[in-house]
Amino acid sequence: MGFCNIEGCRGTRVLSLFTIMRRTTRGTGLQPGQVALTFDDGPNLEANVTPDLLDVLHQHSVKAGFCIVGQQIARYPDVVRRMSHSGHLLINHTQSHQHPIRQNVVTLLDEIEACDREIGAALGIEDYRSEYFRAPFGIVTIAVRRAVRQLGLKHVLLSHYGWDTRVGPHNFNSVVDLLIANAKKNQGGMFVVHDGSLCPPKIREEDWNRSTENRSWVPAAISRIIRELKQHGLQFVIPGNISTARRARPVAAA
C-alpha cells in the first residue's frame, strides 16, 4: 500500500503502481539495455507539442507508447491517426482522466470504453478495443485491477517516474538530466514523460513560460534523451507486451 499525493486526496491510502514494481527486469518484457518511452495525457497541440514530438521520434527512428485521453483524442483525431500510422503504440488512458480513487469499476469501465470509442472514431475502426491501458496518475486501485481483468487489457506501468509534471520550460533540465542518469545507471527501463496537459494555458506569457502545464520543452528534451542514451549503447523498443514493471531508484522531484 502507498500514499497518493495527488492534490485532493493527499494522505489517502491507495494501492499504487509503485507497490507492484519490481526491481529486476523479470516480467517487464524489457531486457537489460532496453529503453521504452511512454507519453501521457495527449494528444496536445498547445505549442504543437505532440506533432513536434512525433517528428523527433521519426527523426530518431524510435517507436513509443502514447497513453491518450479520450477528450483530447476528440479534439485532435488526426494526430492519433498519425501516431497509429507511424507505428506507435496507442494506450487507453480513459476518457476524462479522473482519479481512480474516486471511481468504482462501473465508472472505470465506462471511461475506458468511451476512450475506445474516440480512438475508433479517429482511426475509422468500428468497435475498436484497446489492448493496452494505463490508469490515470498510475494509480492501481482494486477497481482498476478488476476493470483491466474484465476487459482483458494489458496494463502498461513504468519503472521510472521523473516528476516531469512538476517542471516547465524554465527548469526542465534537472528532470532530463536525472532521467538520462537513471537510464544509464539501470541499463534501461520504462519511462514516462507527459506531452499532454489537461489544464488550460495561462493568459500572461510570463506565467505560461513558468507553468508546469507548458510542455513545449518536451520534444527537444526527448531528442537529447534519445541521442545520449543511444550513444551510451541503449536500445529503444516499443513498450508492448509489458504487464508489470520494475522500480529503479526514483529520480528526485524537481
The residue ranges that bind Zn ion (CB under 5 A) are: 40-41, 136
What totals of helices (H) and strands (E) does the chain contain, helices first? 8, 10
Place of cell 514493471: 245
Shortest-Cβ-distance residue relative to Zn ion: 40
DSSP percent split of the chain into helix, strand, coil, nearest 5: 40, 15, 45
Q: Which is nearer to Zn ion, 115 or 176 (CB)?
A: 115
Residues 6 or more apart from 126 whose CB is under 8 A from it?
120
Q: Which is nearer to Zn ion, 96 or 211 (CB)?
A: 96
Q: Which is nearer to Zn ion, 6 or 238 (CB)?
A: 6
Q: How far is the CB of 95 from Zn ion (least distance, A)?
A: 12
Q: How far is the CB of 16 from Zn ion (least distance, A)?
A: 14
Q: Which is nearer to Zn ion, 134 or 246 (CB)?
A: 134
Q: Cβ distance 172 to 221 under 8 Å?
A: yes
E strand or H helix that includes residue 151: helix 142-151
Q: How far is the CB of 194 from Zn ion (least distance, A)?
A: 7
Nearest residue to 111 (alpha-carbon basis) of 93, 129, 125, 123:
93
Q: How far is the CB of 39 from Zn ion (least distance, A)?
A: 10
Q: How far is the CB of 42 from Zn ion (least distance, A)?
A: 9
Nearest residue to 190 (alpha-carbon basis) of 228, 220, 165, 156:
156
Report the amino acid identity of residue 222: I
Q: Cβ distance 22 to 245 under 8 Å?
A: yes
Q: How far is the CB of 70 from Zn ion (least distance, A)?
A: 12
Give me the DSSP letters along 19-30: GG-BSSSTTTSP
Q: Which is nearer to Zn ion, 40 or 118 (CB)?
A: 40
Q: Which is nearer to Zn ion, 25 or 94 (CB)?
A: 94
Neighbouring C-beta atoms of residue 141, cutoff 10 Å: 21
Name 42's bridge partners: 68
Q: Which is nearer to Zn ion, 25 or 50 (CB)?
A: 50
Q: How far is the CB of 47 from Zn ion (least distance, A)?
A: 18
